[in-house]
Amino acid sequence: MSFSAVDVITTKRDGSALSDGQITWVLEAYQRGEVAEEQMSALLMAVFFRGMADRELRTWTDCMIASGETLNLGGLSRPSVDKHSTGGVGDKISLILAPLVAACGACVPQLSGRGLGHTGGTLDKLESIPGWRAALTNDEIRTQLESVGAVICAAGAGLAPIDRRLYALRDVTGTVESIPLISSSIMSKKIAEGTHALVLDVKVGRGAFIKTIERARELASTMVALGESHGVATVARLTAMDQPLGRAVGNALEVVESVDVLRGGGPSDVRDLTLALAREMLGLVGIDVDPAVKLDDGSAYDVYRSMIQAQGGDPDAVLTPAPIHDVITADTSGFVTVVDALGVGVAAWRLGAGRARKEDPVSAGAGVICLVREGDRVEVGEPLFELYADDDEHLARGREALRGAATIGDDVPVSIGILLERITK
């Protein structure tokens, strides 16, 4: 059958479901350059308002996967399982989780990205380690998974390449927040990656992309269904992102904190979430090992060191914060009722740790150390945040962004915990 872009757009605009043929044709024609950017923009807007039925979304995702290559993880000596986070402030979990789960007997192909805006990127954090490289070939990924058990690297340009074009278009057309489009974007790459199982960490709260538990639940359920329909065992955890995860927010700062956790220390919330996600990952691939044991006995740290070395990095390199330093102190006494993850994330970005555009450079040593958590008691003049920047201009921007990031009141706030809900098929 022959189709036209206008017919596809108007079908979805008017609330009807697109046929498999329409979806396949429009995405393939767009990839060939036969559907104009403004036409695809109109279709994305129609999807934003009209949504997609399950069948439409499966077909859309299938076409995104088929737009490029897939990574074959068959033949490895241990089962593969991955984790994806929807992004938060201070979210350094992957740096600990990948070697931990590998130490327990699985292999973890953690294909990651770079940060944009107030949320940090795993690759940016690891690139603060001298010599470490993010770009690996498919053969290098397989070899490292077999020898080390874990790899954290950039997703190859060949995996779901149409997603890059669609994401860029969504970014400039106000259609980023569509749950079907978010789901297909994330899951097409994870399915193309070839992993046997997947755990999704869906952040919800002030510092997350998704602000409400209802939207987070909808997104998680949609992605779980997509994974299961493509033969990938998938579970999602909804986790709180009202305050930053851990204390360090910034690239090298977060690597240092991750190593602290791998060596038996670090903030309790980072450790607790890492172990919860590790148990989910191991359960999906049938490995009956307590990850807390492997974290405490140094096994996970050993795998981390091997993983960094395998990608050219120096695990013994001393990672120092940026040279310009400042402290923000409490202007009243009381209990810390809010540590606003969004405010802290924006501050780290403006200090130099993040980027506004994908091509922008980032500072390895810039960022924020949160010296207090919600519920802490503070006195007037007590330090709340430490700021690090490469120059005074960035420091001033970061300091301004932190204005009001900590709220102090008379009453102890109610703690809701970091683990909110578990979503399965």
Q: Catalytic one among 125, 189, 206, 294?
A: 189
In the sheet that 81-85 helps form, which strands lie side by side, from edge to edge?
81-85, 197-204, 233-240, 419-423
Q: In 3-state terms, what secondary structure has residue 153?
A: strand
Assess whether 84 carries a catalytic annotation: yes
**CA–CA distance, 324 with 221 (Å, rounded to integer):** 44
End-to-end CA, the chain: 35
Is 185 annotated in the active site?
yes
Distance CA 22, CA 1 (A): 9
Q: Annotated catalytic residue: which of 185, 188, 229, 306? A: 185
Give dist(CA 203, CA 183) in Å, integer.
Answer: 14
**Alpha carbons 111 and 64: distance in angstroms, whole number:** 17
Judge contact between 418 and 269, C-beta under 8 A. Answer: yes
Which among 58, 170, 196, 394 is annotated as catalytic?
170
Sign of CA dihedral 326, 315, 239, 165: positive
Catalytic choice (82, 91, 124, 163): 163
Among 12, 84, 142, 279, the one annotated catalytic: 84
Q: Is 201 labeled as catalytic in the residue annotation?
A: no
**Sheet with 406-409, side-by-side order of all strands:** 377-378, 334-339, 406-409
Q: Are 140 and 307 in contact (CB under 8 A)?
A: no
The Cα 80–Cα 63 span in angstroms is 24
Q: What CA–CA distances, in Å, run from 123 to 127, 128, 210?
A: 6, 9, 22
Residues annotated as catalytic are 84, 163, 170, 185, 189
